[in-house]
Structure 1
Amino acid sequence: MSGPATRGAHKSGVDPAITAACFPVPALLLRTNDPVAQQAVRAFAGQQAETARSLSQSLTVALRSAPDMGARVSAFVAVFEATEDWRYRAAASSPHSTGRHSPSWADRFRTPITDDNPNLFRIGDHARFRDGATWNPATRAYQGGTGTPASRTMRRFETLAAERFPQSPRVDVVCNSVSLPGSRSADGTRLLRGDAAHRAAAEMTARISARGGDTSRITTSGHLIYTASAPESERRALFHHAMTLLAFNHTAPADALTAWLQAAYLLYQAPRKKRGADATIRTFLVAAGTLLLSGPPVLPHNIDLRAYTRTHDLFVTELRAAQGIDETSVGRRI
């Protein structure tokens, strides 16, 4: 992970400190130990940095002419939507000719998550991310291979996710609860185990089968942990609160940092598209954070998995520590 970026204001609104180093590649994507293949994955950070610099400038201009709080919120929403549009266009122009990263899958990067079509993601089965692992149809498991950044990361977060569940075997669902203004709370991403996870695995299998995909290696029984996106009404409330937190004209540097930290967690509890939400959120957080913090914030490579498996308070505490900066040195430049 890169260290904290040098802080400093830039009159143009484009912070030259926003570089590819601001976007450490998610270790979960490094499923090989081949340095050439790894570098191909790391190259995407350059696109993220270029986009974040442009978005940061657009946000700077929009906020300077925003007459009130409503206009400020709208400015942040518009930049987030622009980030989503960039992620779709990046997928549509992908150099991969086949597979789930090819342009033929690009529509999934602009397909909204709905209550009837939630996002589901398995946390576990780290053996499938080992370099050279092979599938054994008799045992229905991956075997062999050597450890990779992806396999080690998945093994760690499977343990962390399991620790979120209480000792009682009757509890199959744990929600990431977030406090909202007005003494209201909202449920974000859900962690599933037991029967709830088995149903999620069966749903995933049905979806992939309907698309003509290979479902022979999907496990639908045994010890499973899945994440599931929150209901749409909850995600909308969480997203709006994140935009509102960022839009406040923070005069105290500590308040600006806290708002950005809180918004980061909220956005990961409120994904909007079937694919590309993680890269969208990372790119937006750097663009917005550059204005609030007078320099690019630090993103842990596994920020998404942290948000799914950590409680609100613990996530914020860990992300604050990752910044490694004196709060008195940060503050909005607008």
Structure 2
Amino acid sequence: MTTITADLFPTSPLALRTADPAKQARVRLFAAEQAMAAATVRDILLKTLAATRNLAERQAVMRTAHQEVTTWRYTLAARATGRLGTGIAYSAERFRTPITASTTNYDRLGPVGRLRDGATWDGPSHTYRGGTATPAYDAMATYGKEAAARFAS
């Protein structure tokens, strides 16, 4: 059986909304929590699925496992003091709201100023100004360039 480790959960650059290496390291530690949760769910699934007799039972087991993981992630988010960065208000509820239930589930592509560490809101221009680039900012800028190039061809 494959050992589930933190290495299997690389941190998305979109989670790295700070230029501070110490804060980035703290964000990356979440991979260890993900690995522990994944190993627990895997063990439960292996044991439970081995005892199921039909498709309906297997589907019920999978739905239950998904709900337990969703609840685990929501509980962690509810305990958090917020996310790093500026802009959109933090809401733990988004971790248990299905994508299909949200009418505002989108991300801007391109240089998103609120993802710059220390950026400040400029009312007259309706943009974030200044700050230091973060991995999240760089990723969104790259994604924006790639999307523009794709639509240009």
Corresponding residue number in structure 2 for 1:254 = none
One-letter code of the match for 1:122?
D
Following superposition, the deviation at residue 150 of structure 1 comes to 0.9
Match of 1:121 among 68, 82, 106: 106
Match of 1:59 among 42, 45, 50: 45
**Distance 1:147-1:114 versus aligned 2 partners, 3 A rule:** closer
Distance 1:166 1:42 in 2: 36
Corresponding residue number in structure 1 for 2:135 = 149
Q: Secondary structure at the match of 1:135?
A: strand
Distance 1:93 1:45 in 2: 17
One-letter code of the match for 1:44?
F
1:160 aligns with 2:120: no
**Distance 1:113-1:159 versus aligned 2 partners, 3 A rule:** same
Gaps of 5+ in 1: 1-8, 10-14, 168-334
Q: Is the 8 A contact 1:113 1:119 kept in 2?
A: no
Distance 2:43 2:13 in 1: 29
Distance 1:134 1:106 in 2: 24
Following superposition, the deviation at residue 97 of structure 1 comes to 7.1
Q: Is the 8 A contact 2:99 2:105 kept in 1?
A: no
Distance 1:166 1:122 in 2: 20
Match of 1:90 among 61, 76, 88: 76
1:19 aligns with 2:35: no
**Distance 1:158-1:97 versus aligned 2 partners, 3 A rule:** closer
Corresponding residue number in structure 2 for 1:70 = 56
TM-score by length of structure 2 reads 0.78
RMSD (Å), alpha carbons: 2.8
**Distance 1:53-1:131 versus aligned 2 partners, 3 A rule:** same
Q: Deviations over 1:300-325 (max 9, x none)?
A: xxxxxxxxxxxxxxxxxxxxxxxxxx
Instruction: Give the structure with the larger strand fraction.
Output: 1
**Distance 1:143-1:108 versus aligned 2 partners, 3 A rule:** closer
**Distance 1:49-1:147 versus aligned 2 partners, 3 A rule:** same
Distance 2:112 2:37 in 1: 32
Equivalent pairs counted in the alignment come to: 148
Following superposition, the deviation at residue 49 of structure 1 comes to 1.0
Gaps of 5+ in 2: none
Distance 1:66 1:160 in 2: 46
1:43 aligns with 2:36: no
TM-score by length of structure 1 reads 0.39
Match of 2:67 among 75, 81, 88: 81
Distance 1:24 1:74 in 2: 30
Instruction: Give the structure with the larger helix fraction.
Output: 2
Distance 1:110 1:120 in 2: 13
Q: Is the 8 A contact 1:123 1:157 kept in 2?
A: no
Following superposition, the deviation at residue 165 of structure 1 comes to 4.4
One-letter code of the match for 1:87?
R
One-letter code of the match for 1:82?
E
Q: Secondary structure at the match of 1:132?
A: coil
**Distance 1:20-1:69 versus aligned 2 partners, 3 A rule:** same
Q: Is the 8 A contact 1:31 1:149 kept in 2?
A: yes
Following superposition, the deviation at residue 166 of structure 1 comes to 7.4
Corresponding residue number in structure 2 for 1:277 = none
Equivalent runs, 1:123-272 vs 2, <5 Å: 123-124=108-109, 125-163=111-149, 165=151
